Structure 1
Amino acid sequence: MQIDEGQVASTGMVAPSYVQKVALMLSQKEDGCVAGFLEERLNVGLNFILSAEVDHKKKTTSLALDSQMRRKRSLGSTSTGDGDPFLKTVYSVEFEYSNNKIESIPI
Structure 2
Amino acid sequence: MQVFLHHVYEYLKGVRQLILHTTLTEHLCEMEARLRKEEIAYVAYPLGCSRVNLFFGNPLCVEVVRRIAKPNLTEWTEEEDFILGILLGYDKLQQCRRFLDFRERSRERLVG
TM surpasses 0.5: no
Give the structure-2-normalised TM-score.
0.23
Give the structure-1-normalised TM-score.
0.24
Larger radius of gyration: 1
More helix per residue: 2
More strand per residue: 1
